[in-house]
Amino acid sequence: MTTESSASPADTEPSLLVHDEGGVRTMTLNRPAARNSVNLDLAERIDAAITELDERRDLTVGVLTANGTTFSAGMDLKAFLRGERPKTEGRGFAGLVERPAAKPLIAAVNGPAVAGGFEIVLACDMVVASEDAFFALPEVKRGLVAAGGGLLRLPGRLPYHLAMELALTGRTLSAVEAHRLGLVNRIVPAGEVMRAAAELAAEIAACGPLAVAATKRIIQESPSWPADEAFDRQTEVAAPVRSSADAIEGARAFTEKRPPVWTGA
179-220 pLDDT tens trace: 999 999 999 998 999 999 999 999 999 999 999 999 999 999
Q: Using CA atoms, how far apart are residues 251 and 256, in angstroms rounded to an integer?
A: 9
| Beta carbons of 184 and 129 less than 8 angstroms apart | yes
Angular region, 22: left φ>0, alpha ψ -120 to 50, beta rest = left
pLDDT in tens, 88-104: 999 999 999 999 999 99
Nearest to 59 by CA among 27, 93, 36: 27
What is the predicted pLDDT for the residue at 12?
77
Contacts for 203 with CB less than 8 Å, ≥ 6 apart: none
Judged against a pLDDT cut of 90, whether residue 49 lies above it is answered with yes
Instruction: Tell me the pLDDT tens digit for each residue of 139-161.
Output: 999 999 999 999 999 999 999 99
Q: Among this protein's residues, is 119 annotated catalytic?
A: yes
| Residue 8 pLDDT | 42
Per residue in 168-180, pLDDT tens? 999 999 999 999 9
Q: Does 16-205 carry CATH code 3.30.160.60? A: no
**What is the DSSP pairing of strand 92-93 with strand 87-88?**
antiparallel
pTM (two decimals)? 0.92
Residues with Cβ within 8 Å of 236's Cβ and at least 6 positions away in sequence, in order, are none
Q: What is the pLDDT of residues 213-239, one digit of tens each?
A: 999 999 999 999 999 999 999 999 999
Alpha helices in 63-184, H assignment, sequence order? 77-81, 116-122, 150-157, 160-169, 175-180
Catalytic hit among 44, 89, 139, 192: 139
Pairing mode, strands 61-66 and 105-109: parallel
Residues above pLDDT 70, as percent of the chain = 96
Question: Is 108:116 a contact under the CB 8 Å cutoff?
Answer: no
Q: From the candidates 44, 89, 119, 256, which is the catalytic residue?
A: 119
Burial class (CB in 10 A: 0-12, 13-18, 19+), 206: middle
Alpha helices (H) in 19-76, listed in sequence order: 40-55
Task: Answer whether residue 2 shows pLDDT above 80.
Answer: no
Q: How far is CA 71 from the centre of its chain?
A: 12
Q: Which helix (H) or strand (E) holds 200?
A: helix 193-205
- Tell me, what amino acid is at 92? G
